Amino acid sequence: LLMHDASSEASLLERCQNLHQKATLDPMTQVANRAEFDRVLAMFVTAHQEQRFPCAMMICDLDRFKRVNDTYGHQAGDDAIKSLAALMKSCARAGDLVARYGGEEFVVVLIQTDAKGAFKFAERMRKTVSSLAVMTPDNQKLKITISLGLATFPDDATEGPALIARADEALYEAKRSGRN
């Protein structure tokens, strides 16, 4: 009988997994962080160029977020961000990427999704969020809404940065048009 103590190897594997999570996940929301989004977007675009599958990107921003923080406090703002991230994760399909882009802004890359499918996904997200209530620290129900911008590949762009720019442009048009 030969025995080998593998506890140090198991510990190393666990530490590597923890480091990977810290490097790729946003600590507050547990969705992909900006660096991971940038890395994966390049892979998505390359794969979709080779396979000729459509894909779409949705940029989402909490409406009047500064007012939430100023009125109810930063904890309520953080809770709104966490609720939105959890909702987006639950609505995304296996293979889609949900990431925190910055602040209260999120992106979803939808694989094998054309413009019509992306619009359905975005509209479902918008309606679900507008029916969501986040509890404030003083137990008030806070209603939140989001504005969304969509872009599709290859219709709106043929590379990652152009896809982001097109989705961002659509997001700002949604905000100018009245939000939600």
**Residues identified as active-site:** 104
Rounded Cα–Cα distance for residues 91 and 102 (Å):
20
Judging by DSSP bridges, how do beta strands 97-102 and 55-62 pair with one another? Answer: unpaired
Q: How many helices (H) and strands (E) does the chain have?
A: 6, 6
Rounded Cα–Cα distance for residues 55 and 36 (Å):
18
- Tokens 């480091």 sit on residue: 19
Residue 97 one-letter amino acid = L
Judging by DSSP bridges, how do beta strands 146-153 and 141-143 pair with one another? Answer: unpaired
CA atoms within 13 A on the CB side of 148: 24
Phi-psi region of 63 (alpha: psi -120 to 50; beta: other; left: phi over 0): beta
Quick one: tokens of 76? 């309520």
